[in-house]
Amino acid sequence: MRPRCVELARVLKKTGSFYYHCDWHASHYVKVMLDQIFGENNFQNEIVWKRTTAHGDAKRAYPNVSDSIFLFSGGGEHTFNRVFLAHDPDNVSDKYRYVDERGRTYRLDNLRSPNPRPNLTYDYKGFKPHPNGWAVSFEKMQQLDADGRLAGDPQLPWPISAFFWQMWGPWRVVPTTPSRRKNSLEGAPFQDAQRPGAGFLVGSADHL
> DSSP letter string over 41-64?
GGEEEEEEEE-SPPPTT--SS---
Q: Where are the domains of the chain?
A: 2-82+195-204, 85-190
User: How many Å apart are CA 147 and CA 141, to the nearest integer?
Assistant: 10
Position 127 confidence tier, pLDDT thresholds 50, 70, 90: confident
* β-pair partners for 17: 73
Evaluate whether 92 touches 42 at the Cβ level (below 8 Å). Answer: no
Evaluate whether 31 touches 2 at the Cβ level (below 8 Å). Answer: no
Predicted pLDDT at 69: 92
* 3-class DSSP state of 160: strand
- 30 has a pLDDT exceeding 80: yes
- 206 has a pLDDT exceeding 70: no
Which of 63-67, 136-140, 171-175 has the highest mean predicted lDDT (pLDDT)? 136-140
Domain spanning 2-82+195-204: CATH 3.30.460.10: no
Predicted pLDDT at 41: 94
Residue 188: closest CA among 89, 45, 51: 89
- 101 has a pLDDT exceeding 50: yes
- pTM comes to 0.55
Neighbours of 8 (CB within 10 A): 16
Residues 166-185, mean pLDDT to the nearest whole number: 34
